[in-house]
Chain A
Amino acid sequence: AQSVTQPDIHITVSEGASLELRCNYSYGATPYLFWYVQSPGQGLQLLLKYFSGDTLVQGIKGFEAEFKRSQSSFNLRKPSVHWSDAAEYFCAVGARLNQAGTALIFGKGTTLSVSS
Chain B
Amino acid sequence: GAGVSQSPSNKVTEKGKDVELRCDPISGHTALYWYRQRLGQGLEFLIYFQGNSAPDKSGLPSDRFSAERTGESVSTLTIQRTQQEDSAVYLCASSSQPLRTGLTEAFFGQGTRLTVV
Contact = CB atoms under 8 A, between A and B. Distances in A.
A42 interface: yes
B42 A108 contact: yes
Interface string A68-94: 000000000000000000000010101
B55 A32 contact: no
A86 to B, nearest CB: 16
Nearest to A91: B42
Contact of A51 (B58, B93, B102): B102
B48 A94 contact: no
Given A43-B109, A97-B55, A104 B33 contact: yes
Interface string A87-116: 000101010111011111111110000000
A107 to B, nearest CB: 5
B42 A101 contact: no
A34 B45 contact: no
A52 interface: yes
B102 A103 contact: no
B111 A43 contact: yes
Contacts of A34: 105
A98 B56 CA distance: 7
Interface of A: 4, 6, 32, 34, 36, 42-46, 49, 51-52, 90, 92, 94, 96-98, 100-109
Given A49-B105, A51-B103, A104-B106, 15 more contacts: A6-B42, A43-B110, A45-B108, A51-B102, A92-B43, A96-B100, A97-B48, A97-B55, A97-B56, A97-B58, A100-B55, A101-B99, A104-B93, A106-B42, A108-B42
14 contacts: A34-B105, A43-B108, A43-B110, A43-B111, A45-B108, A46-B106, A94-B99, A96-B100, A101-B31, A103-B56, A104-B43, A104-B45, A107-B42, A108-B41
Interface of B: 4, 31, 33, 35, 41-45, 48, 50, 55-56, 58, 91, 93, 98-100, 102-103, 105-106, 108-111
